Structure 1
Amino acid sequence: MEIRQLHYFLMLCNELHFTEAAYKLGISQPTLSQQIRVLEDELGVPLFDRLGKKTVKTEAGNLLEQYALQIVQQLENAKSAIEDLTNLHTGHLRVAVLPSDLDYRLTALLIDFHKEFPNTKVQVIPSIDILNKVLENEVDIGVGLAIQPDNRLNRIPFYTETYSLFITDEHELADKDIILPSDLVNMPLVMYPKGFSGRDLIENWCDIQEISIDTLMETGSATSLFQLVKSGIGATIQPSQLIENFQSLGMRAIPIKHSPTRNLEMFYRNDKYLTRSAQAFLKRMETFF
C-alpha cells in the first residue's frame, strides 16, 4: 500500500465520482480505477460499491478512510516537524477567522508576526464555517466564537467582550452614559446581514430582551458599516473594543445595559503538529487581546 494510493482513495471518498476525482488528481479515470482495484485486491475486500452511476463507500471503505486520514495527517506532521528542525521558518500558516470585525483587527498582529517570521506564508481566511475548515484540515487554526467541547480539538479561550452602540458625536443619544435595550427599538441601524455570527448573536440577545431592531442597510464589512455611521445613515451595534480603531471618524461607543457578550477562542486539531510559527501566532493572539 502506497501513500499515493491513499491520496487517490481519499479523493474518491470526497468526490464519490471516479471522473471528478481523477480530474482533481490530474490523472486519467482508468488510472484511478486501476489503483483502487490494486488497493481492493491487496485488502481482499471492495472499498466502493458501484450502483449504476452512483459510487458509495462500503463498510471497509469507511474504515480505511478513518485510518488513511490519520496516516496522511501524520505524514504532514512529519514534514512540518522536519521543516521546523531546519529552523528556516519557511512554512505555511492558514488561519480561519470570523469575517467582518475580527479579521480587520488582526492587521497590527500580522505586521508584528511577519517581522518575526518573514519567510512564513500566512493566509487569513474569513469564514462563517470555521469549525469545519479546521476539522477538514483546510486551515491550521480557527479563531472565532467559543464552540462546544470536541475531543478532536484543542481549544484556547482568549477573550470575552461586550457590545456597545456606535454613534456619531452629533447623535441625539451622544451624551448618554449607557444605552437601555428599549432605546434600540425603532432606531435606524446599519448591521451585518443575518447569518453573520455577530448579527445572529445580537438577534438572540434581542429575543432575550424581548425587543426587535430595524436595519436600514446591511453589509458584511466593518469598515463600510462605520463609514455609514459617520455619514449619519444609522447607528450600529458592535464589539466595544472596535472604538480604538474608529474613534478618529468622530464617533463614540456607548455601553449597552445587559449588553450582548461573546467569548472568543482559538482551536486546532489535536492530531496536528503545530509549527513554531503556529505556536507563536497562538501566543501573540492571547497577548494581543
Structure 2
Amino acid sequence: MEIRQLQYFLVLCKELHFSEAAFKIGISQPTLSQQIRVLEDELEVPLFDRMGKKIAKTEAGEVLESYALQVVQQLSNAKKAIGDLNNLHTGSLRIAVLPSDLDYRLTEILIDFRKDFPNTKVQVFPTIESLTRVLDNDVDIGIGLKTEVDSRIERIPFYTETYSLFVNETHEFAQKKSVISGELSEIPLVMYPQGKCGRDLIDKWCVKQGVTIDSVMETGSATSLFQLVREDIGSTIQPSQLIENFHSLGIRSIPIESAPTRELEIFYRNDRYLSKAAEAFIKLMIEKF
C-alpha cells in the first residue's frame, strides 16, 4: 500500500465519481481505477460499490478512509516539522478570521509577523465559518467567537470585550455617560444583517433584555456602518474598542449597561502539526490583544 494510492483513494472518497476524481488528481480515469483495484486486491475487500457512473463507499471504504486521513495528515505533519527544523521559515500560513471589525486590528499583527517570517506566505480568509474551515483543513488557524468543546480542536481564549453604542456627535445621546437597553429601542440603528455573528449576538442579548431594536439600514461592512453613523443615518452597536479606529469621524462611544459581551478564541486542529510560523502568529495575537 503506497501513500500515493491512499491519496488517490481519499480524493475518490470526496468526489465519489471516477472521472471527476481523476481530473482533480491529474491522471486518467483508467489509471485511477487500476490504483483503486490494486488497493482492493491487497485488502481483499471492495472499497466502493459501483452503480453505473455513481459510486458509494462500502463499510470497508469508510474504515480505510478514517485511517488514510490520519496517515496523510501525519505525513504532512512530518514534512512541516522537518521544514521547521531546517529553520527555513518558508511555506504558508492560512488564517480564517471573523470579517469586518477584526480586520482593522489584524493589520498591525500581520506587519510584525512579516518582519520575522518574510518568506512565509500568509492568507487571511474573512468568514463566519472559521471553525468549519479549520475542521475541514482549509486553514491552519481560526479566529472567532467562543466555540463549543470539540475533542478535535485546541482552543485558546485570548480576548473578551463588551459592546457600546456609537452615535453621531450631534445625537441627543452624545453626552450620555451610559445608556440602558430600553433606550436602544427608541433610536434608529444601522446594523449588520441578521445571520452575521455580531448581529446574532446582539439579537440574542436583546431577547434576554426584553427589548426590540429598529434596524433602518443593514450592511456587512464595519466601515460603511460607521460612515452611516457619521452622516447621522442612524447609530450602531459595535465592539467598544472600534472607536480607536474611527475616532476622527465625529462619532461618540457610549457604554451600554449590562452590555453584550463577546469572547474570542484562536483554534486549530490538535492532530495537525502547528508550525513555528503559526505558533509565532498566535503569540502575536495574544500579545497585541
Q: Same fold (TM over 0.5)?
A: yes
Q: Give the alignment of 1:105-116 within 5 angstroms.
A: 105-116=105-116
What SS is found at the alignment partner of 1:124?
A: strand
What SS is found at the alignment partner of 1:285?
A: helix
Structure 1 residue 59 and structure 2 residue 59: aligned? yes
What does residue 148 of structure 1 align with? 148
The 1-side partners of 2:236 and 2:32 are apart by: 54
What does residue 205 of structure 2 align with? 205
Native 8 Å contact 2:104 2:245 kept in 1: no
What does residue 17 of structure 2 align with? 17
Structure 1 residue 216 and structure 2 residue 224: aligned? no
What does residue 251 of structure 1 align with? 251
Q: TM-score w.r.t. structure 2 length?
A: 0.97
Structure 1 residue 238 and structure 2 residue 238: aligned? yes
> How big is each residue's C-alpha offset from its partner over 1:176-201, in whole Å with a ceiling of 9 and x where there is no partner?
11111111114211111111111110
What does residue 176 of structure 1 align with? 176
Q: For structure 1, which segment, 96-105 or 253-262, has the greater mean C-alpha deviation from structure 2 after superposition?
A: 96-105
What does residue 163 of structure 2 align with? 163
The 2-side partners of 1:57 and 1:167 are apart by: 57
Q: For structure 1, which segment, 29-38 or 259-268, has the greater mean C-alpha deviation from structure 2 after superposition?
A: 29-38
What SS is found at the alignment partner of 1:194?
A: coil
Which runs of at least 4 in structure 1 moved beyond 6 Å after TM superposition?
none
The 1-side partners of 2:35 and 2:257 are apart by: 63
What does residue 68 of structure 1 align with? 68
Cα deviation for residue 8 of structure 1 reads 1.0
Structure 1 residue 2 and structure 2 residue 2: aligned? yes
Cα deviation for residue 241 of structure 1 reads 0.7
Cα deviation for residue 239 of structure 1 reads 0.5
Cα deviation for residue 54 of structure 1 reads 3.0
Instruction: Give the letter for the 1:167 counterpart.
Output: V
What does residue 86 of structure 2 align with? 86
What does residue 225 of structure 2 align with? 225
What does residue 134 of structure 1 align with? 134
Q: For structure 1, which segment, 252-261 or 183-192, has the greater mean C-alpha deviation from structure 2 after superposition?
A: 183-192
Cα deviation for residue 250 of structure 1 reads 1.5
Native 8 Å contact 2:169 2:252 kept in 1: yes
Native 8 Å contact 2:182 2:211 kept in 1: yes
The 1-side partners of 2:103 and 2:38 are apart by: 46
The 2-side partners of 1:104 and 1:48 are apart by: 48
What does residue 190 of structure 1 align with? 190
Cα deviation for residue 103 of structure 1 reads 2.4
Cα deviation for residue 20 of structure 1 reads 1.8
The 2-side partners of 1:192 and 1:15 are apart by: 36
What SS is found at the alignment partner of 2:205?
A: helix
Native 8 Å contact 1:103 1:124 kept in 2: no
The 2-side partners of 1:45 and 1:29 are apart by: 21
Instruction: Give the letter for the 1:236 counterpart.
Output: T
Q: What are the ranges of 5 or more consecutive residues in structure 1 without an aligned counterpart?
A: none
Cα deviation for residue 265 of structure 1 reads 0.6
Instruction: Give the letter for the 1:30 counterpart.
Output: P
> How big is each residue's C-alpha offset from its partner over 1:53-111, in whole Å with a ceiling of 9 and x where there is no partner?
43211111111111111111111111111111111211200110111111232111111
Structure 1 residue 120 and structure 2 residue 126: aligned? no
The 2-side partners of 1:18 and 1:103 are apart by: 41
What SS is found at the alignment partner of 1:211?
A: coil
The 2-side partners of 1:193 and 1:31 are apart by: 49
Cα deviation for residue 253 of structure 1 reads 1.2
The 1-side partners of 2:214 and 2:52 are apart by: 52
What does residue 276 of structure 1 align with? 276
Q: What are the ranges of 5 or more consecutive residues in structure 2 without an aligned counterpart?
A: none
What SS is found at the alignment partner of 1:41?
A: helix
Instruction: Give the letter for the 1:182 counterpart.
Output: G
